[in-house]
Structure 1
Amino acid sequence: MATVAGVAVEGGHWIGGERVSSPTTFDDVSPIDEKVIAEISRGGEREARAAVEAAGKAFPSWSRTSREERARLLHAIADGVEKRLDQLAIVETTDNGALLRSHLRGVMPRVAHNFRFFADWLLTLGHEDFETRGHRNHVSWDPAGVCALITPWNAPLMLATWKIAPALAAGNTVVLKPAEWTPLTASLLADITAQAGLPDGVFNVVQGYGAEAGAALVADPGVRRVSFTGSVPTARHISTAAAANLTPLSLELGGKSPLLVFADSDLDLAVDLAVEQYDNAGQVCLSAVRLLVEESVAEEFTARFVAKASALNQGDPRDLATDIGPQIHRRQFERIDGFVQRARAEGATALIGGGPNTDLGGLYYRPTLFTGVAAGSEIVNEEVFGPVLTLQTFRTEEQAVEMANSTRFGLAATLATGSEERAARVSERLVAGTVWVNCFFVRDLKAPFGGSRQSGVGREGGDWSFDFYCDLKNTVTAPWEK
């Protein structure tokens, strides 16, 4: 048990409705000051197997539980999240360094909404029966079984519950493996599910490293679904392990998304959208980190961007006046700096930032904007996952689209334009799972979400989530004799 920002947090696993410890532990370090805040049980094959067995034991009963009762329990979990919203927010800020104001105002309320949305959507899920030569076709969504969910560190609880809620709603049981850098709110969620009355074994949490606990989970033959959010290299390992059991996968991976700014756009809006890409210290997979600006307005856009971005307040994320906090971990901090220094060596110019914030020290990296970057260079093509943007110019719409689609990724794209016709033309040609026009990060849980190319496999959200977390069945019935 650890006390984090005044909140008691268990460091053990949650398996079959009980706290379970491992012989070894690992340190959980806060990015705010790089101090150890908790010791966490280090799970591996033994704990993963126990969690899958517990989930498998609970599955028959839970899968037969009525939709109405499942929905009631998901709403009860949402109630528990809302009752502890302040605690969840400060613990997650301490654990991953994201802004407390964001956790309070948006992220933790979204956690509760994830459960409520899928609870309600479950009750409307269905397909009209249809006839084939007098025979009735009836489509149903059958629970698939045990789901292994492996989640990232940049928005730990929100992204975990985006998977947990539909998996549970569908009648599956869950084993969650949270990121080892940010395990604390997953542990608190286990307490909340127990207090809400979720039966033992329906929801389980195994802490540990991906190469140990995560690898054991995805290779377990008792797992019938794997959903992963993270990097492309890790996804390749997961895909290989899951292939042995033909386990279906949902993969939401990296991105190198563009923001296209056309000369007919509202430049104030375009600049606001561009500066917003520094959200969460640039640690957002959807971020439009490649600014592609029409040549005729590039100078004015750049001047306005530099002025606005330079005014951002970097500091302690627990301060509600802070705009940018620290990077998540020393390893990630050094990775970001490596990208920046190599870009400099290749001739790129940092108009702002370009290195650590020496005034703050620690893991604080200055918001950076590079110009003079070469097409095809590392800084343009590879995901940095930090507060580093590049700015390139284009002359024609055709060139803009070509530049936007020039990487191996296809997670999202944003465009700013005053022309409805251009917005329609360009959006149709962009390779992306989500396109935002004159806005950013507007997400409805009814919409499909996922990536193209190496940004992922599959879609989740609304019916798409249930399509993944269920086995769809069509029952064909001959006419009954009267």
Structure 2
Amino acid sequence: MTEHTLTVAGVAVDTRHWIGGRRVASTETFTDVSPIDGGTIGEISRGTAPEAAAAVAAAKAAFPAWAATSRAERARILHAIADGVEKRIEELSIVETTDNGALLRSHRRGVMPRVAHNFRFFADWLLQMEHEDFETRGHTNHVSWDPAGPSVLITPWNAPLMLATWKVAPALAAGNTVVLKPAEWSPLTASLLADIAAEAGLPAGVLNVVQGYGSEIGDALTSHPDVRRISFTGSVPTAQRIAGSAAANLTPLSLELGGKSPLLVFADADLDLAVDLAVEQYDNAGQVCLAATRFLVEESVAEEFTRRFVEKAATLTQGDPRHEATDIGPNIHPRQLEKIDAFVQRALAAGARAVIGGHRNDTQYYAPTLLTDVAQDSEIVQEEVFGPVLTLQTFSTEDEAVRLANDTRFGLAATLATGDPERAERVTAQLVAGTVWVNCFFVRDLQAPFGGSRHSGVGREGGTWSFDFYCDVKNTVTAPNGWKNHG
């Protein structure tokens, strides 16, 4: 081991940046803390403008060769990266659980296999990407997807590697080179990804990983004139700052900014299913952008729904995320815990009632909370908490349910529980959301478009939509009989 290597649960992790195919240290560091116990994991290289410039320069230098690499070869390397992920699922899982506090069992069984799938899906999608030629007055139109250039990808802390590779995989498949900036609260698996990609044969400079604070290295990356795409997942205020930086260079943006999604429960719903869907919103300690945090329940079943919900929630086990029996782990950071508690205490002071929870369980853990007696225009209903805090309101008519569901500045997702397919069709057609689930939750297919409306984001990614973003889509029009002098 070297001074730049941490041992995290027996796994060696390099704390330096990965730039141009080599490790680069910064003179300054920042402290990475585990949310499990608040203990220090280690010191991580803290990049600033020089590291940002070096990473973009490396990506720019590597771009021509990678863009010219055949689709088949790019796909082969992406599959090799997926192979590397699968060989290291246990290591990636324990490191990520230590770093961000999400359940170890979830990482092993779902999250890390999904990381490998991200690479495999976009490798395969790349090989079948085509648009049928079409004719215009005898002229042939041919649509193609040209690599756009160096791409800056800024990713969040709630599902660090899965959400990073959701961006990295299509960007690389498209022929772009990448500078990945992971969240400073969960940087470790991005470093391991750099190792895996290098071992898979990804050329130097095609993937670069830089660590640090958004206000330092992030700003330097998003304002760089050589960056041709920026994809960001995070908060609205940060997205507004990024958009301002990108505006000077007209750099295209894809922004996924969280939400305040509703769960609509109608009286004709299967209440057991509705309760199961409702309790699922505590997944990842409530740190899920898609979570349906606002329960809108028809008045006639609200009391019964609440009773069953409380009974079901009481069966959840909160504690160490490394334990198999744990259902809810810690929140990511003391600052986030303070933010969550402040939301709840302000709501209680304003007249809300805590049916369950409403308090911390420990310095790192917030009790699963359900608040009622909340006004539609209240902060707790309108603003994203990003913790295990849910609200419950009632409605009497379908129109009222739709009105309440749409009455926020967000529009990322919505979930609907009903036994009436005609009602489902009517209501989903009126909901403002990028994704709507009917009698299910969190069913995600990578070929589907993903993104949000209003303040939940700009653009869509997934399947062909990802390539539309990461590429310059070109139409070539060829005249008929234009080859008479050929040969």
Q: Give the TM bin, normalised by the shorter chain.
A: over 0.9
Partner of 2:182: 178
Partner of 1:392: 393
For 2:424, give the aligned amino acid: A
CA distance in 2, matches of 1:339, 1:40: 31
Partner of 1:53: 57
Matches within 5 A, 1:171-320: 171-320=175-324
The answer to whether 1:169 aligns with 2:141 is no
CA distance in 1, matches of 2:449, 2:214: 27
Partner of 1:71: 75
The answer to whether 1:355 aligns with 2:359 is yes
Q: CA deviation at 1:310?
A: 1.5
Partner of 2:454: 453
Matches within 5 A, 1:105-184: 105-184=109-188
Identity of aligned residues (%): 78
CA distance in 2, matches of 1:132, 1:314: 63
Q: CA deviation at 1:134?
A: 1.1
TM-score (ref. length: structure 2): 0.98
Partner of 1:463: 464
CA distance in 1, matches of 2:44, 2:22: 16
Partner of 1:328: 332
CA distance in 2, matches of 1:349, 1:474: 58
Partner of 2:384: 383
- Tell me the secondary structure at the aligned position of residue 39 of structure 1: strand
Partner of 2:10: 6
For 1:432, give the aligned amino acid: A
For 1:11, give the aligned amino acid: T
- Tell me the secondary structure at the aligned position of residue 77 of structure 1: helix
CA distance in 1, matches of 2:162, 2:301: 38
- Tell me the secondary structure at the aligned position of residue 223 of structure 1: coil
CA distance in 1, matches of 2:188, 2:238: 22
| Deviation per residue, 1:312-359 (Å, 9 max, x gap) | 1000000011000000000000000000000000010001000001xx
The answer to whether 1:88 aligns with 2:85 is no
For 2:380, give the aligned amino acid: I
Q: CA deviation at 1:375?
A: 1.5
| Deviation per residue, 1:401-427 (Å, 9 max, x gap) | 000000000000000000000000000
CA distance in 2, matches of 1:145, 1:45: 20
Structure 1, gaps ≥5 residues long: none
CA distance in 1, matches of 2:116, 2:427: 35
CA distance in 2, matches of 1:379, 1:237: 25
CA distance in 2, matches of 1:193, 1:36: 27
| Deviation per residue, 1:57-111 (Å, 9 max, x gap) | 0000000000000000000000000000000000000000000011011000000
For 2:54, give the aligned amino acid: A
CA distance in 2, matches of 1:475, 1:406: 44
Structure 2, gaps ≥5 residues long: none
| Deviation per residue, 1:417-456 (Å, 9 max, x gap) | 0000000000000000000000000000000000000000
For 1:197, give the aligned amino acid: G
CA distance in 2, matches of 1:371, 1:430: 23
Partner of 2:374: 373
Matches within 5 A, 1:403-422: 403-422=404-423
CA distance in 1, matches of 2:375, 2:56: 48
CA distance in 1, matches of 2:139, 2:255: 37
The number of residues matched between the two structures is: 479
CA distance in 2, matches of 1:73, 1:305: 47
CA distance in 2, matches of 1:365, 1:297: 28
The answer to whether 1:424 aligns with 2:425 is yes
- Tell me the secondary structure at the aligned position of residue 199 of structure 1: coil
The answer to whether 1:476 aligns with 2:477 is yes
For 2:315, give the aligned amino acid: A
CA distance in 2, matches of 1:101, 1:424: 36
Q: CA deviation at 1:183?
A: 0.2
Show structure 1 runs of 4+ deviating over 2 A: none
Q: CA deviation at 1:47?
A: 0.1
CA distance in 2, matches of 1:245, 1:443: 34
For 2:64, give the aligned amino acid: P
Q: CA deviation at 1:362?
A: 2.2
TM-score (ref. length: structure 1): 0.99
CA distance in 1, matches of 2:248, 2:36: 41
Q: CA deviation at 1:388?
A: 0.2
For 1:147, give the aligned amino acid: S
CA distance in 2, matches of 1:362, 1:64: 52
Partner of 2:35: 31
* CA-atom RMSD in angstroms: 0.5
- Tell me the secondary structure at the aligned position of residue 321 of structure 1: coil
For 1:235, give the aligned amino acid: A
For 1:479, give the aligned amino acid: P
Q: CA deviation at 1:38?
A: 1.8
CA distance in 2, matches of 1:472, 1:373: 47
CA distance in 2, matches of 1:63, 1:430: 40
Partner of 1:444: 445
CA distance in 2, matches of 1:68, 1:145: 19
CA distance in 1, matches of 2:42, 2:414: 38
- Tell me the secondary structure at the aligned position of residue 446 of structure 1: coil
